[in-house]
Amino acid sequence: MSLSGRVAIVTGAGSGLGRAEALALEAAGASVVLNDVADLPPGSVGVQGDVGDADVARELVDTAIRHYGQLDIVVNNAGVVRDRMLFSMSDDEWDLVVRVHLRGHFLLCRNAGAYWRDRSKQTGAPVYGRLINTTSEAWFLGAVAQPNYAAAKGGITALTVAAARGLSRYGVRANAICPRARTAMTEPVYGPAPSEGPDPLGVEHVTPLVTYLASEAADHINGQVFFVHGGLVAVLAPPTVAARFDAAGDTWDPAELAKALGGYFADHTPDQVFTGREISLLERQS
């Protein structure tokens, strides 16, 4: 799974999970272009700025090509939170989170995808391209104090699948991870790390999957979503049909529909919603 000779971009790489991902890719042999709104490590190759800014996203791809001659891997990790209940959320709190997460992912996916497509057309053969996007369990849980974050992360999941389907012919593989990791952004949710012993939410539990998905060994994996934390990796399934109802005639009569759906939901409570709570309860088996 060597990444020797490969060139990667990692966003949000100034600290936390992004920094750990960048270091892991470098340890596997890749040259890495860093991005963060904060100061980058001295001597690193990178672009400081907001990934939701089209100029920053463009400069990241240009920097990889200018410094290293190519681009092979994009790890979209940068994020921000502005937690608030839906009825209290401001326009700015919504726009900022969607901009950084969803627009930020889109810009780099688009720019890298265009670069790889052009290279494939020039050579007449598939290229080496890896998109690794960061979603969250917030989207399949419907996190009540994070409607902006949940919506953005749900959008990233859909974007990843669309990218996987649209770019696979050029040799690109696009996958998404739902990491549960303790960082400065998530510590208010998860609390401080344990004072003794290993941290099950340490970022080191996430980076092996990222390195693997970036490698040639994962060439057959495309359009997948992975839940990862504490030594556990789970492959998530797409939505399934819980129940089906067919009209007796060509279309539904409202009363008939009310009877069919009403009967099905008669034993449901308002809290039984479209959610993947059982996924969030997954823990590593000893």
Token pair belonging to 26? 């470098």
Would residue 149 show up in a list of annotated catalytic residues for this protein?
A: yes
Asked if residue 127 lies in contact with residue 119, where contact means CB atoms within 8 angstroms, the answer is yes
Alpha-carbon distance 171 to 236, whole Å? 23
DSSP 193-246: PPSSS--TT-GGGTHHHHHHHHSGGGTT--S-EEEEETTEEEEPPPP-------
Residue 225: its H or E element: strand 225-229
Phi, psi at 22, each rounded to 5°: -60, -45
- Selecting among 31, 120, 128, 136, the annotated active-site residue is 136
Ramachandran angles phi, psi of 72, nearest 5°: -120, -30
136: annotated active-site residue:
yes
Hey, what are 243's tokens?
């129940």
Q: Which one from 68, 115, 120, 153 is the annotated catalytic residue?
A: 153
Out of 68, 128, 149, 215, pick the active-site residue. Answer: 149
Residues belonging to the active site: 136, 149, 153
